[in-house]
Structures are given as structure tokens and as C-alpha cells.
Structure 1
């Protein structure tokens, strides 16, 4: 397919990358060999499609690259979409990968007391102190319950916050719950369920609707194909 200018696909590093690559390849996109070379420090890669390259970035940054037009399409979790709420992101397709949840967690003793009393973490509270890398979602969640959230923003090692008395509770991503258990924490509430989405820059979509619709359809077909094989 002839492209008038290079298109850029932003993919997140880590676990989601492993899950999304079968879809990328099923859509007909094969990155250059360096993409799969663990020794490569490159962040931008050519593909078998003339005029289409891939960038590999942090999950939060994938949304930013697409929202500001540095990339034209990408893969972003709906947690990131909600946290940043970029107007310039259009999300046409839920890829159904990267499932996890965003949850409130407390030390075991506090969590057990709450559960035994049959109440939620926010019952009877007017103020909470919480560590998270999702300050906007967290404040909104507690505000809807009439609770003011004092947020301590951390980008990692969230589970240390209660143990070191930084905050009594955290809001973090949970998949199996193994990390929480290993650090003496339990989930007490869920803010949202999370999957990864295909996102497109709205301005780019207006300027290049045929090309970006083409790739949206290719990912949709790839998702249907892989889903039918797994059924």
C-alpha cells in the first residue's frame, strides 16, 4: 500500500508488547530483525510495510506520542486513556489483551477488619492518603464517594508505601494479586477493569482517513481471526 508520508505505530514495552505482537503480525506488519533482538537499544524500527515504522515506548508514553501526533496510531490501556483524557485520541477497537484491574489495596489487618465489618474502604471517611501513579482516576474515584483523596504520586514500588508508612493504602494495577500477597496487602475495592485499545490520532484520522481506516480494519480482522482460532 502506497503511503504519502511515514506512519508511526506506538507500542508499549513489557507484558503488553508480548500480547500485542501476534495481533500486529496477524495484521500483516513484520518489524525488522532488531525489534526481537534483546541486545538492541533501538526504539524505532522499520517494518515490511513501506512507510510504516514502529516505536517501542513506555505504556503511558504511547498515549502521549499518539495524542500529540508524533505517532499516528498505537496501543494503549484504557487506564491510561482515562488518566490522561486526551481529546486527540480516538479509540476504535478494544483489543481484549492486557487484562488487569485498577484496585485499592490495604495491609492485610486493615483489609480483614473492613471485610469482616461488611463495609468498603471509604465508608465513614472524609479524607484518605493514597499512593498511586493514577492521581486523576484516584481522586475522581474517592470524590464520587464524598471522600477527599490526598495523593502521593509514585511511578513504581507502590507496595512499599504502606510498609514504610508513606501511605496506608495504594491504588495500583493488579493481575494475579501475587505481588500484593507477597507484600502483605489485599484488594478491598476495584476502580476499573482494564484492557488495551487501538488508538488513533484524531487529527491524523481527519487528514488520512483511508490509510488509518485501512489499519484499523486490519487490526479488527486480525483480532477476529486470532479469536476464532482460540475458540
Structure 2
């Protein structure tokens, strides 16, 4: 008997947006999946051949790239940061809209001109994307890797600027920061492990189901 297809989905904000897409693709998770207090990480679905795992957004790409999951839902920011050759991203799901941006304290921004930067020190969980962005501009970037609480970095003197995801901008404003440069627009994608896509033909109609879920 074939092993179930495992779909990795991210915890947090994207999960709520992904749930209707999963339903339209014919995948109804067990009740515990919607319980944010549940400690379970793997969940059955209405299809006995499909399981869901709920992991951190950055880990979705890793699970799928290494074949532990065959499909996943992840932001284009994560795909660009890791750039795994093992991943194929056939469907833009049209959810999770946000942007990756450079932000700094409002008082600094009042006199600062990004066009004049030659060297920047930034706190971010996207060191690869950040370096690549600034290199393309001829700016030397020193990245301090953080996994969260990015907005604290300027106020505590860790780094004067941050690179992070921005949606409404409310979190930046509440922490006295302003967006000064956009690096990329972000949406969530359906990703597939390339090797699994070749060896497990049942993945093809599943990808098509997600494609229809988006367009329908």
C-alpha cells in the first residue's frame, strides 16, 4: 500500500487563508486541525491517502525539498531565501499577500535617503535575500540573523534597520518604524518535490485540483 501524500502547511496567518483552498481542492482536515491549541502536528483528512502536517513557514520548504512531505504551501519569500533546486512551484495560490521591505525608525527616515546608502546593518531572518538585494544596488550589507521580534532590533541598538515582511504596516507603526524600501512582493505558492512529482503520478491531479481551486 502506498504511503499517504503529505502536504506541509504553515502555522499562523496563512493557515486561515489556505483552509478554503484546501476544501475547494477536496481536502477536508480532521477537526483537530482547526484547533490552534492542539499539540498535534500531523492530521488525517477526508482522503485516506492524504495527510497534513502543520509546521513553521520556513520549515515547509525544508520538509518538501527533502521529500519528507511531497507538497506544501509556502510564501514566495521563503522560496527565494532558500532557493532549493528540489522544489517546483506550479501554482500561485493568490493568498498571503504581503511584501518584504526595509524599515527603520521614523526619526532616522526623516533625514535618510536610501539612494545614498553605501553600507547598511540590518536585522533580518532573510540574510540571503537581503544580501542579494543590496549587492544589486552596490550597497554592502551586514546582516544580523534573527528569527523573530525584528522590530526590537533598532530600539535596542542591535541594528538600525530591519528587513521583514509587511502587510498592513501596523506592527511597524506600533514600534516607531517606517517602511523605506520594498524588496519584493510576496504571495503563497503550492510547492512540489520534483522527484516525487515524477515518481508519484497521483500528485498530478492533486496539483490540478489546487489550480482549479484558485481559478474557480
TM-score under structure 1 length normalisation: 0.91
**1:176 counterpart SS class:** coil
Deviation of residue 142 (structure 1)? Answer: 0.6
- Picking from 127, 146, 153, the partner of 2:138 is 146
Distance 1:151 1:38 in 2: 33
Deviation of residue 32 (structure 1)? Answer: 1.2
Asked whether 1:171 is paired with 2:169, we answer no
Deviation of residue 223 (structure 1)? Answer: 1.2
- Picking from 184, 187, 199, the partner of 2:176 is 184
Structure 2, unaligned runs of 5 or more: none
TM-score under structure 2 length normalisation: 0.97
Q: Which residue of 1 aligns with 2:212?
A: 221
Q: Which residue of 1 aligns with 2:202?
A: 211
Q: Which residue of 2 aligns with 1:228?
A: none
**1:113 counterpart SS class:** coil
**2:132 counterpart SS class:** helix
Distance 1:175 1:33 in 2: 29
Deviation of residue 126 (structure 1)? Answer: 2.5
Distance 1:79 1:207 in 2: 28
Moved over 3 A (4+): none
**1:206 counterpart SS class:** helix
Distance 1:222 1:141 in 2: 33
RMSD, aligned CA:
1.1
Q: How does 1:41-52 map onto structure 2 within 5 Å?
A: 41-52=39-50
Counterparts in 2 of 1:168 and 1:39: CA distance versus 1, 3 Å: closer
Q: Which residue of 2 aligns with 1:229?
A: none
Deviation of residue 103 (structure 1)? Answer: 0.4
Structure 1, unaligned runs of 5 or more: 226-231
Deviation of residue 5 (structure 1)? Answer: 2.5
**Which is higher, the Rg of structure 1 or of structure 2?**
1
